[in-house]
Amino acid sequence: MEITGVDQYHLARNLDGSFDPTWVPGYPQSRHELELFEIETDAGITGVTASPSFPGGIDYGDTLRLLLLGENPHDVSRIRRKLASLDLLGPRPWHVEVALWDIIGKDAGKPIYEVLGAMSREIRCYASTGEVKSAEERIEYVEDRLADGFEAVKLRITSREDIEIVRRVREAFPDLTLMVDANKGWAVRAVGEEERWSFAEALAVARDLEPLDIAWLEEPLPRHDYRGYARLRERTDVPIAGGEFNDGPHEVRELLRHGAVDVLQPDAMLATGIQEGVNIAASARERGVRFVPHTWTNGVGLAANLHSMTAARSPWCEFPIEPPWTAEVRDFPLTETIAAENGAVEAPSEPGLGVEIDRSVVGR
């Protein structure tokens, strides 16, 4: 089989309002923008992938054609080595590998998780917020999610004072599984700067959270401060999570090598691709580290991570909900929205990624 074409589409959809994600400080989001790629083969099978984008788009279709045309999509390791050049000179390449697995699965007539040697399974979801909101609003949010069937919620904090929000939510919901994301690992600095914490501040936050029985504190320090994470982890009982947006398997393995985290979160689209993500998950398991990838990109990204999580037996799936950012907005390029039922989700079971692109969206 041979790759014969690469098509790129810049897709955008307006949100019904806007929200203020902690990872793009000072720049409210009123549109969902992404780059969709379709990789064609001489077997008539097309693989898809997608990456988050900026207004106006990021065009690297020509570069992908240079790297991919004539290659056999089954030769994932060889193509990954070629794609590493994209990481040197252009956007991150990890999401591109996902389209190869889509092709391989479709060729085999099996969902990707089956190709990876796994069986279908339900993964419990946590509802993932995107902005810092008042305790009153968050209590209402949790009530809505409990009504939807969720049993776990992740709150955002940016300052030590925000711990009061976590405290109030914990008081209102003693049995809720509660995660906390500080988002200090990285930021898109389009307008503002994120508030960073010193090591001492991160430690103070972690210790403040200790009595609140949280499942993890996510990204309290910059994503490359491997030793800082390891020191923090030694000095608090709160489980520490990170690694969602580290660049490539080497960086993610550094987190493991340093004993930096209790929960490792490399996103297949942003950090590792599927092949190395699943390999790293096995290494994490050997060290007693849980593998719970970040998923907040788009529906193609959620599907890709669901296949990795199914293969890696992840205990949780991040399920973003921060209206007007809804599952429908996230998955707008797909014919079908990936839904959480009773607070759990399963990887799509159709061949490959198991998602279908809505041609009317691409047509526009």
We find the least distance from the C-beta atom of residue 77 to Mg ion, in angstroms, to be 29
Q: Which residues contact 3 (CB under 8 A, 6 or more apart)?
A: 39, 40, 41, 68, 69, 70, 71, 72, 73
Q: How far apart are CA 100 and CA 164, in angstroms?
A: 46
Considering beta carbons, is residue 107 or 181 the nearer one to Mg ion?
181
CA angle 240, 243, 248 (to 5 degrees): 160
Q: Is 267 a residue that touches Mg ion (CB under 5 A)? A: no
Q: Which is nearer to Mg ion, 40 or 181 (CB)?
A: 181
Least spacing, CB of residue 360 vs Mg ion, in Å: 32
Question: Least separation, in Å, of the C-beta of 7 and Mg ion?
Answer: 31
Helix (H, G, I), strand (E, B) or coil at 294: coil
Q: Which is nearer to Mg ion, 320 or 348 (CB)?
A: 320
Binding mask 121-140 for Mg ion (x = CB under 5 A): --------------------
Residues of span 218-237 touching Mg ion by CB under 5 A: 218
d(CA 205, CA 279): 32
Are residues 196 and 183 in contact, defined by beta-carbon separation less than 8 angstroms? no
SS3 for 142? helix
Q: Which stretch binds Mg ion (CB under 5 A): 39-47, 175-183, 325-333, 340-348?
A: 175-183
181 makes contact with Mg ion (CB under 5 A): yes
Q: Which stretch binds Mg ion (CB under 5 A): 67-75, 217-225, 269-277, 340-348?
A: 217-225
- Using the contact rule CB under 5 A, the part of the chain among 10-18, 178-186, 307-315, 324-332 near Mg ion is 178-186
Instruction: Tokens 């906390």: give the residue.
Output: 180
Counting residues that bind Mg ion (by CB under 5 A) gives 2
228 Cβ contact partners less than 8 Å away, ≥ 6 residues apart: 199, 202, 221, 222
Q: Which stretch binds Mg ion (CB under 5 A): 78-86, 180-188, 280-288, 331-339?
A: 180-188
Stretch of residues binding Mg ion (CB under 5 A), selected from 80-88, 179-187, 196-204, 284-292: 179-187
Smallest distance, Mg ion to C-beta of residue 217, A? 11
Using DSSP's 3-state secondary structure scheme, residue 90 falls into coil
Closest separation in Å from C-beta 325 to Mg ion: 14
CB of 128 to Mg ion, least distance (A): 8
Give the shortest CB-36-to-Mg ion separation in angstroms: 24
Q: Which residue is nearest to Mg ion (CB)?
A: 181
Q: Which is nearer to Mg ion, 86 or 206 (CB)?
A: 206
Q: How far apart are CA 109 and CA 218, in angstroms?
A: 37
Compute the least distance from the CB of residue 336 to Mg ion, in Å.
26
DSSP strand E in 1-129: where? 3-19, 29-41, 46-52, 123-128
Residue appearing with tokens 């009061």 = 164
Contact between 194 and Mg ion by CB under 5 A: the answer reads no
63-71, 93-101, 212-220, 350-358 -> range binding Mg ion (CB under 5 A): 212-220
Task: Tell me whether residue 38 or residue 181 sits nearer to Mg ion (CB atom).
Answer: 181
Q: How many beta carbons lie within 10 A of that of residue 88, not counting itself?
A: 7
Q: Which span sits near Mg ion by CB under 5 A: 45-53, 80-88, 215-223, 302-310?
A: 215-223
Cβ 123 vs Cβ 310: under 8 Å:
yes
**Cα diameter, the chain:** 59
Q: Secondary structure of 179-208 in the HEC alphabet?
A: EEECCCCCCCCCCCCCCCCCHHHHHHHHHH
Using the 8-state DSSP alphabet, how is residue 211 labeled? G
| Residue ranges that bind Mg ion, judged by CB under 5 A | 181, 218
